[in-house]
Structure 1
């Protein structure tokens, strides 16, 4: 008998609840109505008007995204623990936020140095600390005396106010220069050196996931435990709340560097570039900061010279990541359609792996039919044009059993058939063959990507189409019942591997596979009607 998946009872109950599905449909319908507003807001650049008008126009994207989040998780509407007071609680969150806003936006005078700039590092660190205190309690119920200073109406109010401050500095370079001069090394360190606080729970979730992925004997129960920890970590929005501001500042430093920049500006730009590439291509950080970083990075995407510079610095995967999974995916798709060939130059194996990882993610969530997308075809064409098969090989090695096998397939077809792949049309034909690949071939590739534990778990779904009548499958099922975790038998594992790795394919339709000619003969009576249908469709 197949091993039952270790799905927690609360999840089973939810999936069987009709109200859950009706509510999900309502959310999806409401989300569809908001998406045009999000797409429209993502294109607004705030290029004209007063500084405040430009800031407000840039913030429309964040506000539209917040509406969508309010429909789904509601996490952006989280309230603080302390009541709002007027004036705010001294050293509380709103006291710090309003002080930052006052110092940077309201009291700044061009040409005049303000002593208050030296307070910004302390205020920002206090904000970061209170966010950590709050989310340690939300995620892990860790109480802290400073919870009484968490006095906001919604957590989005904190993030959007910081975003407005960040945009003020981004859109007014002289003001940013004055703030940095007055803030000194402590402010520079906070903005450009110190790590984002993603939270211990998220770090633990990533570590557990890596352990589970690396363990060839990991089982469904391990993966369920890992996903539970990951879901808990998703409630931690500490880094997310500060990401608009931190992203705005990093983008400002990146864009402000000119040929005649002084040593300080060049140092800030170098640090900012490194941070932006790291933040935008690290799966851990993207999970933590998500759309706020996409929002902040739009000025880079809008400017061709800046975009090429960023891509060549290692950020190409960020653009693909935002196209694949962000509220700015329509905007980023439009940018990718016009992406200059120069953006593909100077890539490293790591930066190209970021691109292939995002493509795999896109195919996983949108299906193999997405392989015909013109953006994807152009990306694969240019990647091969500049770097040959190397990134495809690396992408294939990273594919797991649950991933699409597109890079595995591409590498094998090009090597086996000696394909030259000189034009986008060549790639379109190859990807069409991938989309129409027989199921038996797909299953064989997937089998080769599985861990040993995955192969044991999937005996019923891979290997021989003769099903329960297959004598070798019955023998392997019996051996599976005798398995003891941590005790491995190479001979048995080799037998298992061989059974699923090279099955005999039905030559007529190409859709079924068998471990032996005997199983194929036995199964022919059952397979014949389906085989005839598939041949007619072909």
Structure 2
């Protein structure tokens, strides 16, 4: 299928040399901010006055907004309604001012904060975020847009973050709020389903259908990607994620030192939803780094982290190590992860771990497989759950997925390996890292669906330019009709991708026949000699 032509405005920008210069400048600015973000992720806010502790914990968010400014994030978009003084009754700023007043300023000796109003104000805030972002995605106006009067969208999220931290860092205040807010506040904080929006739900459903369709082709995946890109404009849940995360963490942390039945119930609910939000691809991609930021106290406390892991949240830590602005902090935590955290894992929670490890391999080099974190994860999974998590993870979901778990399960079963110590895992994973490319390709080819094999012909098989069999298969691919399958042709395709062998000298190229290897030798020879010299030196 030929690629779609670029829109003219994008084509003009790409042809403009200044565009690439600006892009490079933006990348450099982003690189300067990332160390600040990493440093901010380690600030615990554990000393000083309550206000100082809150400001320390907000440092990550403030650095994050610098990055948002560079990338032109919609988090900095203004509200459609003008700011007024005093704010519009029942508008966003009216709600935010009252929430902050009730929680942060009206609590104290001799004061009577109106906690009973919190549930309404929070629901109203959520409603206004929803109608604004529904409009942003589908372009349909709503009468309540006149109440969306914030200056920058990020300010709403940061203000809610401060409110959440005020409750998180002051347990008596949180207890008073829950007592005053009653069942309505408990329902909002701990029972209401997270509203990620209809567009994100639709994108997720389409993505699942494409993933489950063995006949799905690149065009289907591209179409699903377009739907997902449109859904990414919906940030309503993301704006609330700091607040939700702060409150959930507060309940979990408070329960460790309380015997109160209500607090235990709140902690149980908070743990359940935080595990779901942080390990589900759909929820975590919606909530983003702000949820990870809010969850840092769980990661800092090994006893609480162990409890979180036992509840099914272990994959969240691995996922944040792979793909979050707090990855360096998460790496530090993973190096100290107690073995006890691996107990009582479900197949689903283990799959979130293995998926994160696969993604890490995709993002970086295969050398990641022989790092202590990777080895320790494999060791603990095998020790407690045998080959089950590896077999479940062995089925590649795309042609570029690493086959490490397929390789591990195959080798352990075939060779009867006794993987009882971490050194055994280091040796096995080192074998994986040094595996010849042709062997890796055969593993990957065997894991593909028929549609996947047709889609990625160019990535497998024979490295010889103009390989006759590959050319013939490409011609057959061009004539394919979706839904019509020919067993003979499919067998021919499967056989072609399974038979290539590596160059015996360097193991870095693959050929489907001696003829193709001889044809390609003059092209391959300089690289082959170079690879052999490097191998001898090492």
Is the counterpart of residue 80 in structure 1 residue 79 in structure 2?
yes
Deviation at 1:417, TM superposition (A): 2.9
Equivalent residue, structure 2, for 1:133: 131
Q: Distance in 2 between matches of 1:352 and 1:97?
A: 40
Q: CA contact under 8 A between 2:437 and 2:502: conserved in structure 1?
A: no
For the structure 1 residues 40 and 512, does the alpha-carbon distance in structure 2 shift closer, same or farther, using more than 3 Å as the test?
closer
For residues 395 and 453 of structure 1, do their structure 2 counterparts lie closer, same or farther at Cα, with a shift above 3 Å needed? Answer: same
Is 2:109 aligned against 1:92? Answer: no
Structure 1: runs of 5+ lacking an equivalent? none
How far apart are the structure 1 equivalents of 2:109 and 2:493?
74
The aligned residue for residue 394 of structure 1 is 392
Q: 401, 405, 408: which one pairs with 1:407?
A: 405
SS at match of 1:511: coil
CA distance in 2, matches of 1:281, 1:242: 18
Q: Name 2:485's counterpart in structure 1.
A: 488
- TM-score of the superposition, structure 1-length normalised? 0.93
Rounded to whole Å, the distance in 2 between the matches of 1:24 and 1:406 is: 35
1:149 aligns with 2:152: no
Corresponding residue of 2:61: 62
Change (3 A) 1:398 1:510: closer
TM-score, scaled to structure 2: 0.93
How many residues are aligned here? Answer: 534
Following superposition, the deviation at residue 242 of structure 1 comes to 0.4
**Is the 8 Å Cα contact of residues 243 and 293 (structure 1) preserved in structure 2?**
yes
Q: CA deviation at 1:79?
A: 0.6
Residue equivalent to 1:433: 431
2:190 is matched with which residue: 192, 195, 203?
192
Partner of residue 39, structure 1:
38
- What are the Cα deviations for residues 22-61 of structure 1, in whole angstroms up to 9, with x where unaligned? 2232222112222222222212122222211211111111
Give a deviation string over 1:345-377, Cα, whole Å, max 9, x none.
221111111111111111112232333333222
| 3-state secondary structure, aligned to 2:324 | coil
248-257 or 518-527, larger mean C-alpha shift: 518-527
Q: Which residue of 2 aligns with 1:498?
A: 495
Distance 1:524 1:110, change over 3 A: same
Residues in 2 aligned to 1:132 and 1:264: alpha-carbon distance in whole angstroms: 31
Assess if the C-alpha contact under 8 Å between 1:120 and 1:187 holds in 2. yes
Structure 2 distance, partners of 1:498, 1:484, is: 21
* 1:487 to 1:186, Cα distance in 2 relative to 1, 3 A: same
Change (3 A) 1:459 1:467: farther
Task: Answer whether contact 2:396 2:402 (CA < 8 A) is retained.
Answer: no
Residue number in structure 2 paired with 1:306 = 304
Partner of 1:29: 28
Greater CA deviation, 189-198 or 375-384?
375-384
1:282-297 maps to which residues of 2 (within 5 A)? 282-297=280-295
Q: Summarize the Cα distance change of 1:307–1:469 in structure 2 as closer, same or farther, 3 Å threshold.
A: closer
- Asked if the contact 2:41/2:329 (under 8 Å) is kept, the reply is yes
Say if 1:113 and 1:182, in contact at 8 Å, map to a contact too. Answer: no
Query: Per the alignment, do residues 217 and 344 of structure 1 end up closer, same or farther by CA in structure 2, a change over 3 Å counting?
Result: same
The one of 275, 286, 294 equivalent to 1:277 is 275
* Cα distance change on mapping 1:260 and 1:78 into 2, 3 Å: closer
Partners in 2 of 1:204 and 1:459 — Cα distance? 31
The alpha-carbon distance between structure 1 residues 259 and 488, as it changes in their structure 2 partners (threshold 3 A), is same
